[in-house]
Amino acid sequence: MLRVEHLRIGLLPPLSFAVANGECLAVEGPSGSGKTRILRAIADLDPVDGQIFLDGAERGETPAQSWRRAVRYVAAEPGWWADTPRATLADPAESGARVARLLSAVGLSEETLDRPVSQLSTGERLRLALVRALADEPSVILLDEPTGALDVGATALIAELIRFQLLAGRCVLLASHDRALVARLAHARLQLGPPQASPVNGRTLPP
């Protein structure tokens, strides 16, 4: 279970919420309301005051790299540091079978891994980044606009993949403008107002 206490993001009032295993919390609000900042703070990518617990262990007590192996932030804009997607996979030998399954789940063939990143479409890159992020099976998945550049068919595949992650007992935080996707997946919602408006603290209970 992921538990967030008194997280202070910008000018927002302190946020407290919990997400049980297998639950999806949608983070909603207009652009600039702090959705990305919340997800980044939970992955410990920015220095933010407040406590975040994963199964009872606080963020600051866990080595940063182990924290991010368990709490995985998937950015809206995927980053690439090698010529092909395969070179950006953590350990191709170890996660090979899982990567193959994930690729077919998002509707990509395995040869996509060896195409130059510069020749891939935005939608392909987005899905490859998701495959890369899920390959080592993190327990908390923080999704920032996972279907931003995708068509209806690919969006449905992603929705199924997220649902599968929930069934496998992972916590999912979903920041998305896609109302249909949120309606399909979210067990609870964290509504952020425009700046100055007061947000409502969301909470999902263990099933």
Which residues of this protein are in contact with other proteins, per CB under 8 A? 43-47, 64-66, 68-69, 72-75, 77-81, 88, 90, 129, 132-133, 136
Beta carbon of residue 180, minimum distance to other proteins (angstroms, whole number): 27
Minimum CB distance to other proteins smaller for 80 or for 164: 80
Q: Which is nearer to other proteins, 115 or 203 (CB)?
A: 115
Give the shortest CB-183-to-other proteins separation in angstroms: 27
Shortest distance in whole angstroms from residue 80 CB to other proteins: 6
Nearer Cβ to other proteins, position 20 or 142?
Answer: 142
Q: 196-205 burial, b if ≥16 CB within 10 A, otherwise e?
A: eeebeebebe
By C-beta, is 61 or 111 nearer to other proteins?
61
Kindly state the smallest distance separating residue 140's Cβ from other proteins, in Å.
Answer: 12
Structure tokens at 151: 């068509």
The distance of closest approach from Cβ of residue 99 to other proteins in the complex, given in angstroms and rounded to an integer, is: 13
Q: How crowded is residue 114: how many other Cβ atoms within 10 Å of its Cβ?
A: 11
Provide φ and ψ at 133, rounded to 5°. -75, -30
Instruction: Round to whole Å and give the CA distance between 200 and 191.
Output: 6
Nearer to other proteins, 125 or 189 (CB): 125
Q: Which residues neighbour 157 within 8 Å (Cβ) at sequence distance 6 or greater?
A: 105, 106, 107
Please report which residue ranges of the chain form alpha helices under DSSP H: 35-42, 64-70, 92-105, 122-134, 152-167, 179-185
- Tell me the C-alpha distance between 170 and 150, whole Å: 23
